Structure 1
Amino acid sequence: MPPPLADAETVDLSALVDTERYPLHDPRSPALEAAIAKAREDLEREGCAVLRGFLRPERLAQMQAETARLAECAFFNTREVNAYFTADDDRLPHQDPRRLFMTRTSGFVTRDMIPADSLMQRLYVSQAMKQLVSACLGRERVYEYADPFAGLVLNVLPEGTEQPWHYDTNEFIVTMMTQRPESGGQFEYCPGIRTPNDEHYAAVGEVIRGESREAVKTLSLNPGDLQLFKGRFSLHRVTQVSGEVPRLTAIFAYSETPGVVGRLERTRQLYGRVSEQHILAEARYVQRADGLLD
């Protein structure tokens, strides 16, 4: 029998997820309600929540093998970027964080290259996964991206690569590390360092320049943990990876509104190409209500 394809109607993930700890098939289960309540508390307090040991051990091993194969197809790009993925503006002071550029050296495998029968796809599209994410975030519903490249991607960080300080375009992101590097590759973040009404450039600049680590937290992640993170308001990075084993992370991006397509320039920087869908979406782009830089 061929492996099952991704099914958006799937609510039974018992073959993939440790449903003794996270009984997704029973929304009224005390165990699931407790896990969701803790995730909400952590997100409110720290802007980050982790569901430890989300996958069954045998499925984690399968996902590790799948992502290792996919990693061989990753697109790598080295660019000088600021935390906002915007161009330099010489009208600003030199110490302004919008003028602080860092080397980003990371790789991605985009959704259009990820097979429909992979565990990544099956998790991403399932109703059970969306219901869990929306419940943890306290949202009525979340949607998959309409973006043909983003939404579901594999982030690949081999030796010498890193993701410098940045924000996410979306308010929240869901990730799962599938392979830990030999050393380095630490996830660091500054919860709520900016708000919808204030970029707090001074505090952000201190972190990026390495002048202060008062706002910086380091999160220990294990392969198979499901992480929910409010990356639009929390400056974050992955430190440089060392050793022969790359850091591999599945990224499951959802949105509160349907039809989300990534910005044209950000897509080009991250994935090295754009589609007609990105070009059309850019022509219709309207500045977000919060007024923050993307």
Structure 2
Amino acid sequence: MTGRTVRDTSHDTSQETPAAVVLLREVSVRRHAGDHLILDGVDWTVRPGEHWALLGANGAGKTTLLRLLGALMHPTTGSVEVLGSRLGRVDVRDLRARIGHVTTAQRVPGDLTAHAVVLTGHTGTVQPLWRVYDDEVRRRAHERLAELDIKELADRPYGVCSGGQRARILIARALMAEPALLLLDEPFNALDLPSREDLIDALHQLAGGRPRLATVTVTHHLEELSPVIGHALLLREGRILARGPVTEVLTDATLTECFGRGITVTRRDGRWAAYSRGRAPRG
């Protein structure tokens, strides 16, 4: 395929530029069964305080890329540095403890209260380790719930919370480690409109309160992007099609090429929307 790369201002190497939170160079991942290339020659830099959207069709490589960032796998070739540590030269268990990773597929006992779920973020466990949590840790768990605007859920069982409430509880849990990088894997999956908007508002507030926190959000819908999202990366068939500022990447032309359908993009008051005009012409 022919890729189109948008100018990426995050590659500025001046002395004023802060150290990268994520630094990928010529990264490829090959599935040994069938010798299938999942990611091909990916270069990407994420810096403190940047908020990225990661988009692409199903099978484009988004999940694999997010697993690399979460130190859950290694590349076949190329180098991956996360929080200053290069995969293959660091104990990934220590590195994972410094990365917030939120996915709706996460296993959480439904009978745990929201406060107990957040507490497990301190130990990185599924079940609470009650003897480990002193008064300070318990207080911080309450603060994380308040930070996501759900402090009233502290004593509510996770299993009876709505999808939007669960998403915010899991984000609060991830923040217990005070991560410099927060990975959000389709956090809006199956949310209704009010729950989606509540979560977008919470992420907006979170970014304002943590100016150095970097985030990467995987989504299929531009409508789910918070106004704080300033950068976007588009994947197509395992290769970067475009990366950089959202105003340069999220265009009719790039999204049409990315998804293979004629797409029109609109933006109003910092929020995005897209609709299909039909299949893109074959070129």
- TM-score range with shorter-chain normalisation? under 0.3
More strand by share: 2
More helix by share: 2
Task: Compute the TM-score of the two structures, normalised by the length of structure 2.
Answer: 0.26
Task: Compute the TM-score of the two structures, normalised by the length of structure 1.
Answer: 0.25
